[in-house]
A and B are shown apart, each in its own frame.
Chain A
């Protein structure tokens, strides 16, 4: 159950805050460190995309119809000039994966941030105000969550036309309610605590109580949900692009590459494998990191489940 540190007492005992403790727990977690390393590699890959393109000498959208395709017009496998092979139009898969990482990370991070910010604001207001405001906002969140979101996203994109901005907004719109619900639930229990009463008796305004007193107490769930929402958003974007409703070709995106590869998986395994691996590595490491962050911030949550 609880591990007790039985090492000889250090000469000086230093108090450690909850954040320091969480940080220490996270640093001891090998899975978390591994995921952070993978995520850092991805960020470097995304940032260095033009550099990779320059080094290899292939543009992301340039079609190498003579060197990048076999005489039959089929993709060329991994070789010295095309390290990860080419796609159906003779484009370098390595360079396209690097540029695709930019799209995935951009969509993942931006739409998650949008969703988290709006979710936190709505959840805080709903949970703190209570009464009619709470009822309306909570019902609205219920409605958003009960939308058949993929179909609705398809309908929306059909009407507005696919683009990166639309994809980000759609993903954010269907993610914020989940965050809002969590924050509302936490706020409901937090607002009954003494420190809120103390703040109120000191004359703090509602806005101040919400954003200065309550918000810092919500950092842990916000952090956990941000980490866990990023892979969801990345998968969502890849799915939209896979269905031809996300990023518009020829801009490289992992989902779009995998959609193209569906026609060629029988002759070009590299066309499926590398974008698929990139996508899987990204989502898996964000999910693992999210789990570790949750464990580090709230060790009790897990212990509660692990009772004998």
Chain B
């Protein structure tokens, strides 16, 4: 387990390092001279040179990268070119908005996605299943901004015309100021994000639940005389949700870096909007800051998912004594019904069923791969 965690952390560090390199290269290859941008259009060559010296742009590239990395490790992201505010301050001031948006939307899309997924899986090929498929395909095909515009048109504009002014057309109210106003201002952005994301979860839940319902222990539960409802919701759904948890970690990690489109449509001052504004003002340190913080979120989310995974999948454990393993299993006894799962090398979802002696795994995405039994 320790070795596993260490390996994941090492990989995460590598990803982050590569992203700093990519970001630095991006920074460096820019055709716009940052010094010129800061100094302004009417600056004399001397001023530009002075600014360049102050930014350290006149030093050799590796030295600049070392300096960049050094400051980064000290949590210093530099200052905005635009208004000279520290980038970390800017990021921290925008973070609550993005977190509010992501958290609320995640709750709605989980309810929507899992709900329709279960509905579809309980009666495959039924009307409900077909309706869920239509929902999934519409969700997958509609760009976020189109959903946002439609919601704005119907729920904001048309309802306003009809005299119902429940949905505001944009803006943000901090939760500390007014929790009701906060929720009211976020409901349209939440719905927008949720509608787009729920499709994936619906599909995932359906496939995984159908898979689990074919398991032996489901038949056992049924033959014990338990009702179908209880078996589906109590025994089946519980283990079927493993891939959903994986996907949730990845999505939340990605969105915490800024839901660019949703924030820009509804005028939410989050990280994504900050990034977009910085593009217009050519404010490179801020863009770099947002990209880096987004990368950190994605990496953290991946680690969390992997750890959760190691806990859920007895075969991911590495160098852990049998007794310690038993203890760990007992600690997580609420999860004892979860089936053994293994992450598919192709779709990275843990949707495969693994019966222990089997050497070939099959994932719901259609991939099969062979497993070397671990000694």
Contacts and interface: CB of A to CB of B under 8 A. Distances in A.
A14 to B, nearest CB: 28
Given A146-B302, A243-B261, A266-B157, A155 B149 contact: no
A150 B153 contact: no
Given A142-B15, A188-B345, A231-B141, A242 B261 contact: yes
A288 B137 contact: yes
Interface in B225-251: none
A34 to B, nearest CB: 13
Nearest to B157: A266
Contact of A186 (B144, B152, B298, B346): B346
Contact of B149 (A151, A189, A261): A261
Interface of A: 139, 142-143, 146-148, 150-152, 154-161, 181-182, 184-186, 188-189, 192, 221, 231, 235, 238-239, 242-243, 245, 255, 258-259, 261-262, 265-266, 269, 272, 276, 279-280, 283-284, 286-288, 291, 294, 298, 301, 304-308
A150 B260 contact: yes
B138 A284 contact: yes
Dominant secondary structure of chain A at its interface with chain B: helix
Nearest to A286: B141
B149 A276 contact: yes
Contacts of B26: 155-156, 159
Contacts, number: 166
A305 B207 contact: yes
B71 interface: no
B258 interface: yes
B133 to A, nearest CB: 9
A276 B275 contact: no
A240 B60 CA distance: 34
A139 B294 contact: no
B30 A151 contact: no
A147 B18 CA distance: 10
Contacts of B27: 159
Interface string B275-302: 1101100101001101100110111001
Nearest to B153: A265
B90 to A, nearest CB: 15
Nearest to A301: B366
13 contacts: A146-B15, A151-B260, A158-B284, A160-B31, A182-B346, A182-B347, A182-B367, A189-B369, A235-B141, A283-B143, A287-B141, A301-B366, A306-B124
A189 B276 contact: no
Contacts of A159: 26-27, 29-32, 284
A144 to B, nearest CB: 9
Interface of B: 11, 14-15, 18-19, 22-23, 26-27, 29-32, 124-125, 137-138, 140-146, 149-150, 152-153, 157, 206-207, 210-211, 213-214, 254, 257-258, 260-261, 264-265, 272, 275-276, 278-279, 282, 284, 287-288, 290-291, 294-295, 297-299, 302, 344-348, 360, 362, 364, 366-370
A245 B279 contact: yes
A274 B295 CA distance: 37
B11 A139 contact: yes
A205 B214 CA distance: 44
Contacts of B207: 305
Give the 5 A-B CB pairs with smallest separation, nearest first. A148-B294, A185-B346, A283-B141, A301-B366, A158-B279
A146 B51 CA distance: 35
Nearest to B295: A148
Given A192-B370, A243-B276, A284-B137, A155 B291 contact: yes
B146 A279 contact: yes
A237 to B, nearest CB: 10
B298 A148 contact: yes
Contacts of A255: 143, 145
A262 B152 CA distance: 9
A143 B279 contact: no
Contacts of B157: 265-266
**Which of B210, B366, B368, B370 has the largest count of A CB atoms less than 10 A from its CB?**
B366
Contacts of B29: 159
Contacts of B149: 258, 261-262, 265, 272, 276
A189 B291 CA distance: 36
Given A151-B257, A305-B206, 17 more contacts: A143-B19, A146-B15, A148-B295, A150-B260, A151-B258, A155-B275, A155-B279, A158-B278, A159-B32, A159-B284, A186-B346, A188-B370, A238-B145, A284-B138, A287-B137, A287-B141, A288-B137
Contacts of A148: 254, 257-258, 291, 294-295, 297-298
A152 B206 CA distance: 32
A111 to B, nearest CB: 16
A185 B141 contact: no
Contacts of A188: 345, 369-370
A158 B81 CA distance: 14
